Structure 1
């Protein structure tokens, strides 16, 4: 009887541990999202859109760095995220938004961090008002290709630690070079269809990955995390290209709409 009781207690604790492992990242992300939405009593705080509407400069400079999502893999220049967001933002704030697209297909967080450390983007960072960063997907994909999906899962903690270190260093270097720039970070999304054998596993791991992006953003006052997972997911297959990984034109439009929605609701904190 004691053995049975001990086994039941062990199962109970394992169940609680598994539930906490799965749900706690969701709770963390939800809390950080709510924190970014709070207005507080300081009525002088401005949304990102209001900030740029009242910005002293008539010409806004947007720099985008990262991987193929930034580059716009598979679509024409006027259909990619950088062009669509820059163009639509210009309409919203009634100003000219110039953009520089430094996205590179296959770029990893380590590769981007090395570029930043080498000073290859210093001048572009200095002259930018908004800097969009999308990185991390290739960290996982390249590991999966070298091993397999199970191998990638086993390597998840190591991948996550390396990614978080790189993103922290990238963001801090940008802040050091240009403390007044708004940094726009994009969540990593799960492109797998709901009936894929690894879809549920990816959905369970994704919040653990994305919570690191939110924690990095909390260290940068003038930063915002775009909730990409709201528009690129198994419920919106029309937003993915035929390769099943990258957004198509409709997907880039959906992400642009999501960024502008958050720009209109979230409040920009000034860098100290």
Structure 2
């Protein structure tokens, strides 16, 4: 093979590489710019995971629609069966409706109340809210991580700081409820209370703050005539050895199933 032929082959190869690289780079940019919100839609027939596109769409009005929002607990993180309390609950709720049950999960791992509020403000979420029969919310777990603060800051200063976090959380949660009710007055809102994932590592003063946090949340939820608060503190306090996943923060499948059963018991008289 002469030098001219080798040069021609190398030039062609270089062009092909450039085209492939450019296409791959463009594709990576398109992924980076895509929406970070994902939806897991589960029906009685099975499940699928797909990205929520930018087109505003309605849920199937012929189905019993359950919308799940909030943090990793709402997402089902830690459940080795990939079910979570929402899907466990939907299996129990089959006895209450002749419709197929669709579970749309827009929860975000690591989210806090301000993030949830931003999600609820979106047109897509408000459309989901409008078309939902039940709305499950779990939020606050990432905010109470501050309760385990072991810094040398004086306890009085820490308490004031945590109170500020609590007050902001309560305001965000109140705004979330207002937005939901602006689009759907009839949907049942089910709020999952917080448990203590830190066991004896949480000092008495921090436990008192956690209990106050739950109490105020319960009051806010209960002020809505069509909403219900589901406590979980006692479930995990007395079953910590069985209900936690390997990370000792999220529930495992047994823990999620316990939450779903409590939800069903609280809601079984609803139509």
Provide the residue aligned with 1:113 in structure 2: 117
Provide the residue aligned with 1:179 in structure 2: 185
The correspondence for 1:263, drawn from 257, 260, 267, is 267
Question: Hey, what's the Cα distance between the residues in 2 that align with 1:144 and 1:204?
Answer: 13
Question: Hey, what's the Cα distance between the residues in 2 that align with 1:118 and 1:146?
Answer: 37
Provide the residue aligned with 2:89 in structure 1: 85
Question: Hey, what's the Cα distance between the residues in 2 that align with 1:152 and 1:234?
Answer: 28
**How do 1:31-42 and structure 2 match up within 5 A?**
none
- Seen in structure 2, the aligned counterparts of structure 1 residues 238 and 175 have a Cα distance that, compared at 3 Å, is same
Question: Hey, what's the Cα distance between the residues in 2 that align with 1:126 and 1:146?
Answer: 43
Contact 2:78-2:246 at 8 Å conserved across structures: no
- Seen in structure 2, the aligned counterparts of structure 1 residues 202 and 91 have a Cα distance that, compared at 3 Å, is farther
Question: Hey, what's the Cα distance between the residues in 1 that align with 2:257 and 2:201?
Answer: 28
Paired residue total: 209
TM-score by length of 1: 0.69
- Seen in structure 2, the aligned counterparts of structure 1 residues 94 and 230 have a Cα distance that, compared at 3 Å, is farther
Provide the residue aligned with 2:164 in structure 1: 158
Matched residue SS, 1:190: coil
Provide the residue aligned with 1:102 in structure 2: 106
- Seen in structure 2, the aligned counterparts of structure 1 residues 152 and 73 have a Cα distance that, compared at 3 Å, is farther
RMSD of aligned alpha carbons: 2.6
Cα offset for 1:234?
4.6
- Seen in structure 2, the aligned counterparts of structure 1 residues 135 and 97 have a Cα distance that, compared at 3 Å, is same
- Seen in structure 2, the aligned counterparts of structure 1 residues 227 and 94 have a Cα distance that, compared at 3 Å, is farther
The correspondence for 1:211, drawn from 184, 203, 215, is 215
- Seen in structure 2, the aligned counterparts of structure 1 residues 153 and 240 have a Cα distance that, compared at 3 Å, is farther
Question: Hey, what's the Cα distance between the residues in 2 that align with 1:174 and 1:110?
Answer: 15
The correspondence for 2:134, drawn from 130, 151, 155, is 130
Matched residue SS, 2:73: helix
1:64 aligns with 2:68: yes
Matched residue SS, 1:103: coil
Provide the residue aligned with 2:251 in structure 1: 247
TM-score by length of 2: 0.69
Contact 1:85-1:256 at 8 Å conserved across structures: yes
Contact 1:78-1:84 at 8 Å conserved across structures: no
- Higher RCO (C-alpha 8 Å, min separation 6): 1
- Stretch of structure 1 that moved more, 89-98 or 127-136: 89-98
Question: Hey, what's the Cα distance between the residues in 2 that align with 1:252 and 1:94?
Answer: 25
Q: Which runs of 5 or more residues in structure 1 are unaligned?
A: 1-56
